């Protein structure tokens, strides 16, 4: 997958994006990995703590998924899709900084969406997100 440059930010192709700077990657089994964009990690600064969501919890699109704590602030991450949280990235408990180092390689949670097609409606593709970044 390629990266699109949007000013000083990188946008990975093949992912879906929200206006709140989360990304969603649809896996072959229909589950969705969720993470934060390069823009989000740069705005947050050095991450010190990730409060991971609970496996088994149901979330609606737009719900608070988890909180990220950085040296600058505490920030909420919103679910780009609704469904059941089936897995969390436990690496983040001891190494939250990996989200700063590789925001597109390190995910926060895996969600089994209620209805994948419906959940993806309204999300941006990489080109639309890159354009959005250039406008903000």
SS3 38: helix
Distances in Å between the Cα of 68 and the Cα atoms of 29, 46, 81, 135 are: 28, 10, 19, 25
**Residue percentage of the chain with pLDDT more than 90:** 97
Please state, rounded to an integer, the average pLDDT across all residues of the chain.
97
pLDDT at 26: 98
pTM of this prediction? 0.97
Looking at 2.40.50.100, 3.40.50.300, 2.40.50.140, 3.30.360.10, the CATH number of the domain 3-130 comes to: 2.40.50.100
Q: What is the pLDDT of residues 24-55, one digit of tens each?
A: 999 999 999 999 999 999 999 999 999 999 99
Range 100-104 average pLDDT: 97
Distances in Å between the Cα of 29 and the Cα atoms of 112, 128, 130 are: 9, 26, 27
State phi, psi for 50 to the nearest 5 degrees. -125, 125
Q: How far apart are CA 45 and CA 70, in angstroms?
A: 6
Q: How far is CA 75 from the centre of its chain?
A: 13
| Residue 72 predicted with pLDDT over 90 | no
Domain-by-domain residue ranges, the chain? 3-130
């Amino acid at each position: 997958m390629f990266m699109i440059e949007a000013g000083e930010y990188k946008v990975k192709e093949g992912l879906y994006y929200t206006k709140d700077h989360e990304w969603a990657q649809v896996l072959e089994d229909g589950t969705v990995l969720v993470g934060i964009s390069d823009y989000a990690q740069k705005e947050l600064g050095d991450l010190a703590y990730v409060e991971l969501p609970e496996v088994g919890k149901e979330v609606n699109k737009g719900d608070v998924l988890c909180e990220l704590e950085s040296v600058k602030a505490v920030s909420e991450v919103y679910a780009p899709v609704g469904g059941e949280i089936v897995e969390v990235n436990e690496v983040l408990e001891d190494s939250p900084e990996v989200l700063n180092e590789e925001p597109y390689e390190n995910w926060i949670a895996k969600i089994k969406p209620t209805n994948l097609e419906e959940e993806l409606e309204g999300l941006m593709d990489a080109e639309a997100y890159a354009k959005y970044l250039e406008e903000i």
